[in-house]
Amino acid sequence: MKPVPIVYDDSIKKYSFPGTHPFKGSRFEKFIRYLKESKLVKEDLCKIIGFIGPPPSEEELQLVHSPFYVRRVAEMSRSGIGLLSIDTPVFKGAYEAFLSILHSTLSAYRAIASGEAEVAVGIGGGLHHAGRSYGEGFCIFNDVAIVAKYAQKEGFKKIFIFDYDAHQGNGTMDIFYSDPTVFYLSIHQDPLTLYPGTGFVEQVGVGEGEGYTCNIPLPPGAGRSCYERAIKEVFLPLVECFKPDLIICNGGSDPHYNDPLTMLSLDLKGFWLIGRSIREAADVAGAPAIDLIASGYDEEILPRAWTCIIAGIVSFEEEPCSEPPRELPEAASAFENTLREVKQVMKRYWSI
């Protein structure tokens, strides 16, 4: 197996919110230092690479975002004054900082599109809360949706998005809600208990896109066994049915039990399993995959959890990934019902 490229460039650190905001660019640097010391790099299972191809511009942003919105954010970024939502201020230079994040995401795509790799990782990407004309949840634009549109322009027809961030990707879901060429699946904390408050089982898409959105909400306290079942009983079977020619994944370490912003209980071994499921999905579909990693707000856990995801992608049993399960038994039993419901709803459209 060829080493998995991990795209990293120091310029992504500029995507950093001011003051006491939890999304800081320094997190990326901490991770890359940790990864460099890990056996994954030392044993050539993955390699850290820089950006590939030309930097993106307004043209790529407009694949998804309205020209008015792009201009408005650019203006706010020039002045450093502007608030897209209560948690998403537009700091000075935010526009250019996002273009660096997008460059990372497009580079991961280019690594698989050129045939250089079957799975590639883009550090900094996964800003899934921004919609066509809005930004929120620390996301000023949506690189997940942009790379999907970009890949379609280059000839990839059917794309499966697997969003394993603790928060549901409302922006990505909105953008593709009526689009049958992009399947959106999200595993996230119950929207009744966490921002953004979307991602209910019955939200399955509309019009031609009906049946092409799948939401799997997890109760607070859910952990490894819930993820394992959601992956095995819903995610992988849907990939098999949909037969994508490209898989785009996004997430990070915010489902970890120590994360200060969420109430899930995933342990490090669970992140390893998520990574492995990305590789499995690519194998099942016979299609390349990219994974975009950005979330996680416990800075001690973040480098370890992100490394465990990558260890899972290359199926390497890293020592730090062997944390015992931490999920609450009552959460696991409550999830039984949700899982049954999700399967019932998806069976209307797919033979899973």
The closest of 255, 258, 268 to 187, measured between CA atoms, is 255
Nearer to Zn ion, 35 or 264 (CB): 264
Q: Decide: 64 and 152 in contact? Cβ < 8 Å.
A: no
Q: Report the alpha-carbon distance of residue 140 to residue 5 in Å, rounded.
A: 26
> At what angle are helices 268-285 and 301-313 packed, to 10 degrees?
30
Minimum distance of Zn ion from residue 295's CB (angstroms): 4
Minimum distance of Zn ion from residue 150's CB (angstroms): 23
Q: Report the alpha-carbon distance of residue 139 to residue 349 in Å, rounded.
A: 32
The region of 157-165, 177-185, 273-281, 325-333 touching Zn ion under the rule CB under 5 A is: 157-165
Give the binding-site size for Zn ion (rule: CB under 5 A).
5
| Site for Zn ion, residues 280 to 319, rule: CB under 5 A | 295
The only residue of 60, 143, 165, 179 in contact with Zn ion, by rule CB under 5 A: 165
Nearer to Zn ion, 152 or 186 (CB): 186
Minimum distance of Zn ion from residue 305's CB (angstroms): 12
The region of 127-135, 166-174, 179-187, 240-248 touching Zn ion under the rule CB under 5 A is: 166-174
Nearer to Zn ion, 27 or 167 (CB): 167
| Site for Zn ion, residues 196 to 255, rule: CB under 5 A | 254
Pattern 254-283, Zn ion, x by CB under 5 A: x-----------------------------
Q: Decide: 118 and 282 in contact? Cβ < 8 Å.
A: yes
The region of 36-44, 105-113, 161-169, 194-202 touching Zn ion under the rule CB under 5 A is: 161-169
Bridge partners of 186, per DSSP, are 163, 215
CB nearest Zn ion: which residue?
167
Q: Report the alpha-carbon distance of residue 29 to residue 48 in Å, rounded.
A: 13
Dihedral over Cα of 96, 6, 27, 125: its sign:
positive
Nearer to Zn ion, 31 or 316 (CB): 31
The only residue of 129, 167, 269, 279 in contact with Zn ion, by rule CB under 5 A: 167
Helix (H, G, I), strand (E, B) or coil at 61: helix
| Site for Zn ion, residues 174 to 193, rule: CB under 5 A | none
Nearer to Zn ion, 149 or 188 (CB): 188
The verdict on 128 binding Zn ion (CB under 5 A) reads no
DSSP summary character for residue 159: E
Q: Decide: 247 and 287 in contact? Cβ < 8 Å.
A: yes
Look at the block and give the residue holding tokens 């004309």. Answer: 133
The closest of 217, 297, 228 to 258, measured between CA atoms, is 297
Minimum distance of Zn ion from residue 196's CB (angstroms): 10
Bridge partners of 163, per DSSP, are 186, 250
Catalytically annotated residue among 129, 167, 188, 256:
129
Q: Decide: 25 and 14 in contact? Cβ < 8 Å.
A: yes
Nearer to Zn ion, 295 or 307 (CB): 295
Instruction: Tell me the HSE value of 144 on the side-chain side, using a 13 A CA sphere.
Output: 35
Q: Report the alpha-carbon distance of residue 119 to residue 112 in Å, rounded.
A: 6
Nearer to Zn ion, 165 or 298 (CB): 165
Minimum distance of Zn ion from residue 88's CB (angstroms): 13
Minimum distance of Zn ion from residue 214's CB (angstroms): 18
* Residue 129 bears catalytic tag: yes
Helix (H, G, I), strand (E, B) or coil at 109: helix
Point out which residues bind Zn ion (CB under 5 A): 165-167, 254, 295
Residues taking part in catalysis: 129
